[in-house]
Structure 1
């Protein structure tokens, strides 16, 4: 799974965030994103029934890699892993969650925003981390500084990333992919305008292709 995840992010280095209490809507959103070329999806666990949406996508969507985001505790990490999550994303760096994922060989992207946090992740054995919240944590200039020091580390900036600045982040060699909720706007999800979500995904894939060329 790790190799397939890396391959897909190399081809389309954008991870859209999906968050809804309705499993059917989650599936339709994932299908719309995949139709636009984005087949690595992070389901954010910010509501009581979000995990049900993740499980529905895993069961009903073909050829989509599905991770769990906003994982806050070790128990939560264990629960989503057992439910089938193929990677885990956290807003911050928690040693016991990172150690569990390393032991289980589950790709994990813990949130970091300082040199100290990145160094701690490196010491734990991680080589890929989330950079969050990207825009507030210093954006592209901060990533350039971190990348120059931690040459083996790769970052997934999330938080404040959009179609307007996606190419700037992806132009950095240290960025493995960008995550963002701009691809699944609440109004489009609420109104069932999944064609709009597909168009946003297609736009992101196009931007990424140009940035990485």
Structure 2
């Protein structure tokens, strides 16, 4: 079975450009998180399996239907199943995990396998997946690496994460092979807790402003 590359998730990501990576350790932050994202028209969120509250956070954030909620750091079939049961509409893995990819393709759920090498990308292509996570981007050569990989893999788009920040994300997005960028630099629980979301909201507004002016 091959990936459905016409899935609306890919279109939404290409339009939004920003994929916040969020680790939930305090569920009381989620209402404010959703409010900030909606107010800034960033309706994507990747909730990572880096905490025990991941599934609960996905379920709560999915409830209103206002956000497209996905699961990140998905390393096993069990995590993929749990994520989808709790409202996840897409799956992001740190590597090419065959059992996760097979399950997602059967469910028609977009999956972004983590890649860093030509071999990784080729394995993703074997499943018909042409949008891959590039991680950790800064360690594996950043935009320079993406440009080099885009030579032989001219039909692949990259979602880089790792080392992306407000100072370089526009440069990444200027490359036609970059569909969007991900990371906790977009919004984080710590920033929301700092002052009930005021700083987090201002920071996201600044990122969106930079995006719109370029």
Shared fold, TM over 0.5: yes
Q: Which residue matches 1:139?
A: 142
**Which whole-Å CA distance do the structure 1 matches of 2:124 and 2:51 have between them?**
28
Consecutive unaligned residues in structure 2, runs of 5 or more: 1-5
State the aligned residue count. 210
Question: 1:88 and 2:76 equivalent?
Answer: no
Verify the 8 A CA contact 1:166 1:207 in the aligned structure 2. no
Match for residue 30 of structure 1 among 13, 29, 34: 34
- What TM-score does the superposition give when structure 1 sets the normalisation length? 0.91
Verify the 8 A CA contact 2:116 2:140 in the aligned structure 1. yes
**Which whole-Å CA distance do the structure 2 matches of 1:171 and 1:118 have between them?**
21
Q: Which residue matches 1:125?
A: 128
Q: CA deviation at 1:143?
A: 0.3
Consecutive unaligned residues in structure 1, runs of 5 or more: none
Match for residue 8 of structure 1 among 4, 12, 18: 12
Q: CA deviation at 1:62?
A: 4.5
Report which of the two has the higher share of helix: 1
1:81–1:187 Cα change, 3 Å = closer
Verify the 8 A CA contact 2:23 2:189 in the aligned structure 1. no
Match for residue 78 of structure 1 among 76, 81, 95: 81
Runs of 4+ in 1 over 4 A off after TM superposition: none
Helix, strand or coil for the counterpart of 2:25? coil
Query: RMSD value over aligned CA atoms?
Result: 1.8
Verify the 8 A CA contact 2:23 2:54 in the aligned structure 1. yes
Q: CA deviation at 1:3?
A: 4.3
Q: CA deviation at 1:185?
A: 4.0
Q: CA deviation at 1:21?
A: 2.2
**Which whole-Å CA distance do the structure 1 matches of 2:93 and 2:41 have between them?**
24
